[in-house]
């Protein structure tokens, strides 16, 4: 009888532990997706290029560009994951990587807030292919900032190992692919909105403020 009671107690503890781990995992995933949502929603080289390219050349001719972006994006993410894990035992260096990401996001927010007339959506954009999409990822300051930010913040909640890093990259890649596809799909319709100086004068400063706020919040939270 006592053995049954002890088994029941252990079983209840195991269930509570599993539920607690599942809750923590869901919170981590939602936090990660919330951070990435800001990156998808705010203007940047990837989403703006796809939305303009689709408006000029059509959806089908933009697909190769997106595929190149995905390959470059995954490569960049995995490189950052490996670097963060490699220097995990060096908290000082890990903190430096984190603060580089924070500074990128804050500076990007200040830059975006002044972009009201920077995008000339009526300008002719040449047809771009996979190589252009791939190379864009490595010179994309916004992407570097966000990748460094979410990898350094969420690698530990996801297990602190390579498997956790791959999980982060997989989740973010699928989510970003959906987002960039939406920008591409509605490119022609959104093109008219961004061509409006009044719209950009209102929307871009708000987007810039969100980025600055996000970077400041990450700075307060720390690595």
Identify the band that residue 11 occupies on the pLDDT scale cut at 50, 70 and 90: very low
Distance of CA 173 to the CA centre of its chain: 8
Which tokens hold the place of 74?
């995954």
Check if the beta carbon of residue 77 is closer than 8 Å to that of residue 172. Answer: yes
Which tokens hold the place of 208?
């810039």
Alpha helical stretches, state H, the chain: 2-41, 45-57, 63-86, 91-112, 130-138, 141-154, 162-185, 187-194, 197-221
The model's pTM: 0.69
Tell me the mean pLDDT in the region 142-156: 84
- Measured CA to CA, the distance from residue 136 to residue 197 in angstroms comes to 27
pLDDT of residue 74: 95
pLDDT tens digit sequence for 23-76: 657 777 888 888 788 878 777 778 877 877 787 777 888 999 999 999 999 999
pLDDT of residue 2: 44
Cα end-to-end span (Å), the chain = 50
pLDDT of residue 93: 66
The number of beta carbons lying within 10 Å of the beta carbon of residue 176 is 22
Taking alpha carbons only, the member of 66, 178, 58, 42 closest to residue 132 is 66
Indicate the average pLDDT of the chain: 75
pLDDT of residue 199: 63
pLDDT of residue 169: 93
Cα separations in angstroms, 158 against 27, 32, 94, 154: 11, 10, 17, 6
In the predicted structure, residue 197 carries a pLDDT above the cut 50: yes
pLDDT of residue 88: 66
């Amino acid at each position: 009888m006592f053995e049954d009671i002890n088994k029941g107690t252990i079983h209840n503890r195991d269930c509570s532990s599993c539920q607690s781990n599942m809750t923590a995992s869901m919170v981590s995933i939602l936090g990660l997706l919330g951070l990435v949502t800001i990156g998808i929603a705010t203007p940047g080289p990837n989403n703006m290029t796809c939305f303009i390219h689709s408006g000029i050349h059509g959806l089908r001719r933009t697909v190769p560009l997106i595929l190149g972006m995905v390959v470059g994006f995954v490569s960049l993410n995995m490189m950052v994951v490996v670097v963060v894990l490699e220097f995990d035992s060096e908290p000082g260096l890990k903190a430096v990587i984190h603060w580089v990401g924070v500074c990128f996001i804050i500076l990007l927010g200040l830059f975006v807030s002044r972009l009201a007339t920077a995008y000339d959506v009526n300008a002719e954009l040449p047809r771009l292919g996979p190589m252009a999409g791939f190379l864009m990822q490595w010179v994309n300051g916004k992407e570097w900032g966000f990748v460094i930010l979410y990898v350094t913040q969420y690698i530990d909640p996801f297990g602190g190992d390579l498997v956790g890093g791959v999980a982060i990259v997989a989740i973010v890649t699928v989510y970003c692919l959906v987002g960039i596809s939406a920008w591409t799909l509605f490119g022609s319709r959104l093109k008219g909105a961004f061509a409006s100086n009044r719209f950009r004068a209102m929307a871009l400063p708000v987007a810039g403020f969100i980025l600055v706020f996000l970077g400041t919040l990450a700075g307060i939270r720390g690595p």
